[in-house]
Chain A
């Protein structure tokens, strides 16, 4: 305990003073990301007040809150245990199919949760092919499971990296001291990976809280349904914004708990990569068991819903303009992923300075993730409206540039929505760089920029790639902002899939959904390979 305390002191806020710390740039980045959320807050504060909130508080709000808690808890439980267990197996054991599972396990992230919900409901409802065999996937339990199985890769990816980077000394010591494998895992390996797991869980929970499509379809209305209802049913954007702030507060709570975890587990930052663990070979029987266990999330989150959608697609007319939708999706996702990787790193650096302004700004940027897409889109729209008014005033007349209907506006909206997905991994990656490393490099005469480019970059590159990848996939799936802000005649795969699905033509929605998964698959495989290759090189270099 004393050791950890000392570490905490060393790794405290002052740890990078004089290091590479682009504070003001980072605050600007974070500010831009947080702008839509601030716009939502302004709308909430200055919008007209009605008695709608009292009406809601007395009628549906309790049920929405209960559902929100249930859905979030179930999703977190499934994604947390499943994701961490899968990561542990893949990082520490050698078994049949391991190297395939290593990247396959990331793929369910390519499946939009609402598409998985549609497919599973269709399979298990009264007239469905699995009726009577599997209970109908519905209600908070069904929705929680769907989120757990489609979002666990967040936990898996972050935890796998953490486990792989861990020195095996603590675990080995625990085993030597008589702990069983499970006990040693719980007491030695798990605490060190906890920040990564918590970061993944925070993403899982925020995304399940902000979902609308899946929870409505499965009959588990959460607070985000209430937000859309305030808007669509009552016609009150201001009340929707107010309820959105309640949801953001919940997300802040999740965030806060995650930070608490990270602080408690800071010793992991100092453990470094002294001696990466050798993978333990499993017996054939245990190999089969491990493979069977890892197959489960793949089947539930990806293979079965895709198979159902594919089967339906065979009987349905082809969706139109799929090639251009695919191109638009790849373009937007590629650009967004690249920008997000840069922004995520910048924000992570700002956080590293420990300055209050930077921390507040970056946390605000991260919160954008929990705002339901439709409301975030409204925030972006409100913001663009004000900016446009400002231009008009400067221009002394209607300013010709229109912020909506351009790709720049869309890219901006994506960053505000998904910055959290990029900041988390970048922050975890940066946490691995110890203050002593900075100090050593500085002593050897490295200037701050050298330090960042020559010392930090090789170490944070996997994290930056991961951040970019996560945002790439997110943008592929993203709906409301794309629907509202995109230019004329500019559809994406997600928009096409949603349009068909919302008109109950699952069959025609299937192929675009399939293409989303396939489009995510390519870069995912490539990056998973890159990351494993880098790991292997490190291993070989260290013997």
Chain B
């Protein structure tokens, strides 16, 4: 035992050195690769990476981590960072990364012309390549969809004890409130948050799908959710999931008043990108028909490029709503204010 231990003690530092050399190998820049830091973890992305490699021969290296951690790592590594492309699922995070100086203009204006102006940063620091709508799921049996037209209705006393919603730690809630701050002003946005808080059927808990299940089970009548969670259970192989989706339906709020709130999955060129040309090519590829189709078909996200043809009947049914054309960068600008409002009204 003793000898084994002694041998281990000698071998370990060598192993570690050898392994860290391997680990650092990922940063060795060859002509044929692109390093992606992504806060997304979807099958659609793997499909897009594979398609990109097939089309261009450029190998894709990926690190997936939650948005804030990703930003922090790129910031720490500064000019040494191996990052070529940074991807996150929320405009607020993209805004923060831009504020931290992590992006440089990609110079792909021609490609960006394909998407609405509201979906990209005014200085071309980043752009949204797919969108997700924050919508209201309701119980078909207990709610007349005519009853509820706007986000503001959720704060109406009519819905006292009937609203399910997840915690305000969730970035989707923060971005929705950030949009309302822009549309209604901070006071009205705070009154809205307070109203929703007072209407809650239960303290915030679980994720978006859990809110839809609670609606189906009768714990509450309406819930704030992202559209693709509902689409996912509606397209599920599991009969129990499909039953939940059948008992509920989605309302795309504020069609007559500014449009439904959308957030983006977005990407930008990292400031010190060692493989900048490959990164540009990848960023263009995100807006290609192939990639846009993949997001719609595999992740149920709306393509950023309008009129993209895709094979997803359910999503097609949901598509065609009026989206809020608020520049998504605003969501980041108002994010801290939104968080404070949630804190003040006690939305946990």
Residues in B with CB closer than 8 Å to A453 are 2
Decide: B205 and A218 in contact? CB cutoff 8 A. Answer: yes
Q: Is A406 an interface residue (CB 8 A)?
A: yes
State the total of A-B contacts with C-beta under 8 angstroms: 191
- Nearest chain A residue, comparing its CB with the CB of B219: A126
A120 to chain B: closest CB distance in Å?
12
Q: Which residues of B contact A122 (CB under 8 A)?
A: 210
Q: Which of A315-358 contact B (CB under 8 A)?
A: 315, 317, 320, 331, 335, 338-339, 342
Residue among A233, A317, A491 making CB contact with B169, cutoff 8 Å: A233
Contact of A219 among B1, B68, B167 (CB under 8 A): B167
A 201-237 to B, binary, CB cutoff 8 A, 1 in contact else 0: 0000000000000001111010001001101111101
Question: Does A408 contact B16, Cβ atoms closer than 8 Å?
Answer: yes
Q: Determine chain A's interface SS by DSSP, over half rule.
A: helix
B217: chain A residues at CB < 8 Å are: 125-127, 131
How would residues 475 to 508 of chain A score, 1 for a CB under 8 Å from any chain B CB and 0 otherwise? Answer: 0000010011111111100010001101110000
Q: Closest chain A residue to B205 by CB distance?
A: A219
Contact with A along B276-315 (1 / 0, CB 8 A): 0000000000000000000000000000000000000000
Q: Which of A55, A378, A407, A457 has the most CB of B within 10 A?
A: A407
Q: How far is the CA of A231 from the CA of B210 in the complex (A)?
A: 26
Most buried by B among A234, A377, A385, A404: A404
Known A127-B217, A453-B2; judge A408-B19 contact (CB<8 A): yes
Q: Is the Cβ of B207 less than 8 Å from the Cβ of A487? A: no
User: How many residues belonging to B are interface residues under a CB distance threshold of 8 Å?
Assistant: 74
Binds B, one of A56-64, A83-91, A293-301: A56-64
Number of A interface residues in the complex (CB < 8 A) = 74
Residues of A with C-beta under 8 A to B27: 402, 405, 488
Select which of A121, A221, A315, A377 is within 8 A of B69 by beta carbon: A377
Chain A residues near B343: list those with CB within 8 A: 55-56, 59-60
Chain A residues near B80: list those with CB within 8 A: 388, 398, 402
Q: Which residue of A lies closest to B82 (CB)?
A: A405
- Decide yes or no whether B329 CB sits under 8 A from chain A: no
Q: Does A92 contact B (CB under 8 A)?
A: no
Task: List the A side residues contacting B62 at CB < 8 Å.
Answer: 488-489
B26 at the interface (CB under 8 A from A): yes
A402:B167 contact, CB within 8 angstroms: no
- Chain B CB within 8 A of A401 CB: yes
Please report which residues of chain B, range 1-45, place their CB below 8 angstroms from some CB of chain A when the two chains form the complex. 1-2, 8-9, 12, 15-17, 19-27, 35, 41-43
Give the distance in Å from the alpha carbon of A229 to the alpha carbon of B338 in the complex.
12
Q: How far is the CA of A42 from the CA of B294 in the complex (A)?
A: 45
Q: How far is the CA of A377 from the CA of B70 in the complex (A)?
A: 11
- The reply to whether A503 and B42 form a contact with Cβ atoms under 8 Å apart is yes
Q: Tell me which residues from 307 to 348 in chain B have a Cβ below 8 Å from any Cβ of chain A.
A: 335-336, 338-340, 343-344, 346, 348
Q: Which of B71-79, B101-109, B185-193 contacts A (4 or more CB under 8 A)?
A: B71-79
B20:A407 contact, CB within 8 angstroms: yes
**Given the complex of chains A and B, what is the CA–CA distance between A317 and B68 in angstroms?**
28
A59 engages B346 (CB within 8 Å): yes
CB-based nearest A residue for B208: A504
CA distance A335 to B23 in the complex (A): 15
* A233→B343 CA distance, assembly (Å): 10
Which one of A335, A405, A484 contacts B72 once the chains associate, using CB atoms below 8 Å?
A: A484
Say whether B216 faces chain A, with CB atoms less than 8 Å apart: yes
Which residue in chain B gives the minimum CB-CB distance to A51?
B340
Q: Which residues of B contact A457 (CB under 8 A)?
A: 2
Verify if A384 is at the interface (C-beta below 8 Å from B): yes
Cross-chain contact A406 with B69 (CB below 8 angstroms): no
Closest CB in chain A relative to B67 CB, distance in Å: 8
Q: Bound complex: CA of A126 vs CA of B169, how far in Å?
A: 22
A405 with B207, Cβ < 8 A, contacts A499-B41, A502-B66 known: no
Interface pairs (17), CB distance under 8 Å: A125-B214, A138-B203, A217-B206, A219-B348, A233-B335, A315-B236, A317-B43, A335-B15, A335-B16, A385-B78, A398-B80, A402-B82, A406-B23, A410-B23, A484-B73, A487-B23, A488-B27
The 8 closest A-B pairs by CB, nearest first: A219-B205, A233-B339, A126-B217, A408-B20, A488-B26, A499-B41, A406-B23, A483-B65
Task: Please name 7 further chain A to chain B contacts, defined as beta carbons within 8 Å, in addition to the given A138-B205, A232-B67, A315-B237, sorted by A numbering.
Answer: A60-B346, A217-B206, A225-B169, A232-B171, A235-B96, A408-B17, A461-B1
